[in-house]
Amino acid sequence: MATPAKWVIDPTHSEVQFKVKHLVITTVTGQFGQFSGEATASDDFSDAQVHFEAEINSISTNNEARDGHLKSEDFFAAEQHPKLSFVSTGITKKGDEEFVLQGDMTIRGVTKPVSFDVEYGGTVVDPYGQTKAGFEVKGKINRKDYGLTWSAVTEAGGAVVSDEVRLIANVQFVKQA
């Protein structure tokens, strides 16, 4: 087996999003504009060790007031906790292109175990000779587990923001020489 290589996320060809129900009837999508990550893995990624960070102040939901609220003490408390992070603790290969990635997610100073479904898109060598690998990562967390407890109720008694947050990342890694 080959020696594991270091892979680094290419942010210009990657996106990290979250989706949360608003008023129970629609979904609001947000994204992190600044993030970084790396993996150490053999060519089949069955032994991948992953570390990821996102800058809280880079949140965008295409609404400045909402973004400001998300960065405030009501949610992420960006001043005190400027980053969220994920560090893998294990990976399980489910099929040729499917994995389950386990790890610890830290948001707002709170660390909890999470698992993500990972779909491997393949590996190619680009026109510049760089080896790149693509992945789609999906998972769910409960925002209240991380101290993001702000809540409001509609006139009819429904929640303004759901507790469940879906996380979706489409990432391209570049193999380092």
Q: What is the DSSP string of 93-149?
A: E-SSSEEEEEEEEEETTEEEEEEEEEEEEEEEE-TTS-EEEEEEEEEEEEGGGGT--
Please say if the pLDDT value at position 131 is more than 70: yes
- Whether the full predicted model's pTM is greater than 0.95, yes or no, is no
The structure tokens listed for 109 are: 């100073």
Q: Which residues contact 99 (CB under 8 A, 6 or more apart)?
A: 45, 46, 48, 91, 92, 93, 117, 118, 120
CATH number, domain containing residue 87: 2.40.128.110
DSSP β-ladder status, 98-107 and 83-93 = antiparallel
101-121 per-position pLDDT tens digit: 999 999 999 999 999 999 999
Contact call for residues 175 and 131 (beta carbons, < 8 A): yes
Which pLDDT score, from 0 to 100, does residue 154 have? 45
Three-state secondary structure call for residue 70: helix
Q: Which domain holds residue 36?
A: 5-175
Going by pLDDT thresholds of 50, 70 and 90, the confidence category of residue 176 is: very high
Structural domain count of the chain: 1
Q: Residue 17's beta-bridge partner residues?
A: 31, 168
pLDDT-wise least confident of 23-27, 40-44, 107-111: 23-27
Which pLDDT score, from 0 to 100, does residue 48 have? 93
For the residues 24-40, what does the mean pLDDT come to?
86
Place of tokens 């879906």: 166
Going by pLDDT thresholds of 50, 70 and 90, the confidence category of residue 34 is: very high
The structure tokens listed for 146 are: 């991380």
Please say if the pLDDT value at position 156 is more than 70: no
Which pLDDT score, from 0 to 100, does residue 20 have? 77
136-151 per-position pLDDT tens digit: 999 998 878 887 766 6
Which pLDDT score, from 0 to 100, does residue 161 have? 61
Mean pLDDT, the chain, integer: 87
Count of alpha carbons within 13 angstroms of residue 3, beta-carbon side: 4
